[in-house]
Amino acid sequence: MTTTETLPDTSLDTLLNTHFAGKVVRKDLTKLIKEGANVPVYVLEYLLGMYCASDDEAVIQNGLVNVKRILTENYVRPDEAEKVKSKVRESGTYKVIDKITVKLNEKRDVYEALLSNLGVKNAEISDTYVRQFEKLLVGGIWCIVTLKYHFEEDQKGSPFAVIDLKPIQMPNMDMAALFEARKEFTDEQWIDALIRSTGMEPSHFKERVKWHLLARMVPLVENNYNFCELGPRGTGKSHIYKEISPNSILVSGGQTTVANLFYNMGARKVGLVGLWDVVAFDEVAGINFKDHDGVQIMKDYMASGSFSRGR
């Protein structure tokens, strides 16, 4: 699968740093800061891009210290959620790193936030943030959130409120700038850049393997594309769908339901296929729908890109 050891393309490093200034990170640095935090790689890379987007080793080391400090002080571990809630209550305000999802409470005419790891529900949030970052309403965004605690008797909502919010993943994408920068790369250089973006060094692979790695990315950019990869465990088949993009979700294990995947008629909520650009299944050989019509609905959706559920 690999060729004889070759050195990475330094000219590609130069091109990337020139045309994507402030957005280039060293992929190996994510291993140094992960340290058990259940944070997607793309979130860590965003932080690295803020503090370590340089080829100066001193800047990188200083940036690593800052990123580690931010994670240590603000990342919410699910098992420490009550401790963090107490800190918010005692101090009045407190900053946390968490995935935040927003919904509209029609009865109160306010937007309310759910913080996944912290377990805080119905925290009031300004509609300014919702208008600025629409992804809050669809799937959620990892953010540095400043929470405020204010309790009153006979209070209708939660005592928690979001008073400041800063995304730590790309909240939107400037495709025009991307297309313009692409003109400065040859096809071979761009293929290598895409492979590097998944955390792999292209100089270690033959051309055939590079195309195989690119094929894994097709579902991320092509509508209604169905893809199945067979291979041994531990070969990176599902990594890209779990860690690389905030627009894909990996369903681990073989158990799922039609309500979870397509539409829950009881709750009147769209399932995963309506919320995510890519839905990937790990260990698909063991997949099992609890509903008898699940397989047929899946086949129809794969063929036409649409589905319907009758009452």
Alpha carbon distance 263, 308 (integer Å): 9
Mean pLDDT by 10 residues, the chain (311 residues): 53 87 80 73 83 81 88 86 93 92 92 93 93 83 91 84 87 82 93 90 92 93 89 83 83 76 79 85 74 81 81 58
pLDDT at residue number 311: 58
> Is the separation of the CB atoms in 225 and 201 below 8 Å?
no
Alpha carbon distance 119, 76 (integer Å): 10
> Is the separation of the CB atoms in 121 and 112 below 8 Å?
yes
φ, ψ at 68 (rounded to 5°): -60, -40
pLDDT at residue number 22: 72
pLDDT at residue number 1: 47
Nearest 5°: the CA angle 260, 265, 269 is: 60
> Is the separation of the CB atoms in 86 and 100 below 8 Å?
no
Which pair of structure tokens corresponds to residue 304? Answer: 């036409």
DSSP string, 162-225: EEEEEESS-SS--HHHHHHHHTTS-HHHHHHHHHHHTT--GGGB-HHHHHHHHHTTHHHHSTT-
Residue 237, Cα to own-chain centre: how many angstroms? 17
Q: Which residues of 155-189 are buried (b: 16+ CB within 10 A; e: fewer)?
A: eeebbbbbeebebbbbbeeeeeeeeebeeebeeeb
pLDDT at residue number 172: 65
pLDDT at residue number 235: 81
Taking the model in full, what pTM does it have? 0.72
Which pair of structure tokens corresponds to residue 184? Answer: 């400065």
pLDDT at residue number 36: 61
